[in-house]
Amino acid sequence: MIVKDEFLSKLRRYFRLNLYEVKIWAALLSRGVSTAGELSDIADVPRSRSYDVLESLEKKGFVIMKLGKPIKYIAVPPNEVVDRVKKNVKNEADEAIKRLETLKDTEILDELNTLHTQGVEIVEPSDLAGSMKGRQNLYNHLELTIRNAEETVTIMTTSQGLIRKIEGLKPVFEQLKKRGVKIRISAPLTPDTAKVEKDMEGVAEVRHTDSKARFVIVDSKELIFMVLNDDEVHPTYDVGIWVNTPFFAGALEELFELAWKEMKKPEAAIKTKK
């Protein structure tokens, strides 16, 4: 049996199999029905391992053991295998979620939080910083940081950044508003941003700016700033820096406060453009 390594690698990734499993499975698919010994020779898998591998594949729903002697194995149609794998993955994910949910009510989480709190107390301020590469990673950390806000969230972004943040973080903003957190967002407002501006009415105050910058300040303590122009970089290569620095974040908040007073509200910005 000649099967390219690249193809076997893809099968391993998609179906979550080890190398021996994917070799035996591919060999059985090419035969339809076969014995463990025959599959061992075809797939170049040690005979001492072929029975264990076939037993594992049977449990996962890839093969069926045929009654009779010698013992033979039948390949399950690939379409059926895909459905079975999907079901297994979903069941495993549901179980993992349940375990994590129950963790919230155990002493384990309390101990973890205690470890983290004690650890933070002895961390140097310069260590409370990090970088994120890729817009998805960046927004994951952005959501985590904003979600913990207690007093203020200040955002300066681009037109497309405004759309992305409101579409992705609106539920978080609404939760913060209920907790009394003050949210201010400045960005170049355009006809494309009109819908998301409306979505933020009563949740956050949005104003127009011609300046180009991308940063978020939380409680005048934590700062996340993006170092690249989102119009010129692919989302995969977007880069953000997170810093826990009340000294610098507070100073930047004061500068934003001065600029905020000069920024136009959406209605005024539209009239000016007309």
CATH class of the domain defined by 127-273: alpha beta
**What SS3 string covers 85-143?**
HHHHHHHHHHHHHHHHHHHCCCHHHHHHHHHHHHHHHCCCHHHCEEEEECHHHHHHHHH
Percent of the chain surpassing pLDDT 90: 53
Q: Distance (Å, rounded) from C-alpha 38 to C-alpha 33?
A: 10
pTM greater than the 0.85 cutoff: no
Angle, vertex CA 149, rays to CA 120 and CA 126, nearest 5:
35
Q: Distance (Å, rounded) from C-alpha 171 to C-alpha 154?
A: 17
Integer CA distances (angstroms), 121 to 109, 147, 244, in order: 18, 21, 13
CA atoms within 13 A on the CB side of 237: 6
The pLDDT confidence band at residue 219, using thresholds 50, 70 and 90, is very high
Q: Which residues of 215-231 are buried (b: 16+ CB within 10 A; e: fewer)?
A: bbbbbbbbbbbbeeebe
Give the β-pairing of 72-75 and 129-133: unpaired
pLDDT in tens, 87-105: 888 988 999 888 888 887 7
Give the pLDDT confidence score for residue 119 in this predicted structure. Answer: 59
CATH class of the domain defined by 5-83: mainly alpha
**How do the domains of the chain map onto residue ranges?**
5-83, 127-273
Among 159, 153, 162, 230, residue whose Cα is nearest residue 199: 162
pLDDT in tens, 107-152: 888 778 777 666 555 555 544 578 889 998 999 999 989 999 999 9
